[in-house]
């Protein structure tokens, strides 16, 4: 993993922290609790508060193509059709994409994330 890829992955995970982003660590699914430098703090059934290097995990994200009809309507209204996009509008859209775990940065295609199973994040 390059330095740029690590920075992109950490940047992406940081925006998703409030929404309990799931990651794969070896064969276990964990939730990210926090981060420090190149390390993230995870929780799962056991052990709680495990720390690992960011290169050891891949987040589970939803591809943009997995949007439901209702999500597409919201995204078209606020995201795509926001012709007079203010800072508040952009922040609203990015927060929404993070909360819904959409891969708007193309991390799945870059091999930095995994496609989330359909039922992993409640839609």
As a whole number, mean pLDDT of residues 24-43 equals 83
Residue 121 forms part of a structural domain: no
As a whole number, mean pLDDT of residues 118-123 equals 78
Cα angle for residues 5, 11, 12 (degrees, 5° grid): 90
Please say if the pLDDT value at position 46 is more than 60: no
Please say if the pLDDT value at position 90 is more than 80: no
Residue 34 forms part of a structural domain: yes
Range of the domain at 108: 3-115
Q: Per-residue confidence at 105, pLDDT binned at 50, 70, 90?
A: very high
What is the spatial distance between Cα 75 and Cα 66, in angstroms, rounded to a whole number?
12
Question: DSSP assignment, residue 89?
Answer: H
Burial of 43 (0-12, 13-18, 19+ CB in 10 A): middle
What pLDDT is attached to residue 84?
58
Identify the weakest region by mean pLDDT among 42-51, 54-63, 114-123: 42-51
Residue 122 forms part of a structural domain: no
User: How many of the other CB atoms lie within 10 Å of CB of 48?
Assistant: 11
| Number of structural domains the chain divides into | 1
Q: Per-residue confidence at 35, pLDDT binned at 50, 70, 90?
A: confident
Please say if the pLDDT value at position 112 is more than 90: yes
Residue 91 forms part of a structural domain: yes
């Amino acid at each position: 993993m390059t330095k740029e890829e690590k920075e992109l992955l950490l940047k992406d995970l940081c925006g998703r922290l409030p929404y309990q982003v799931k990651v794969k660590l070896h064969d276990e699914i964990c939730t990210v609790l926090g981060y420090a430098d190149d390390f993230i703090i995870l929780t799962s059934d056991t052990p709680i508060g495990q720390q690992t290097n960011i290169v050891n995990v891949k987040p589970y994200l939803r591809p943009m193509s997995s949007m439901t009809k209702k999500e597409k309507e919201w995204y078209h209204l606020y995201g795509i059709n926001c012709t007079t996009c203010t800072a508040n509008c952009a922040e609203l859209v990015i927060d929404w994409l993070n909360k819904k775990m959409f891969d708007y940065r193309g991390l799945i295609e870059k091999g930095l994330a995994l496609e989330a199973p359909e039922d992993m994040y409640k839609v």
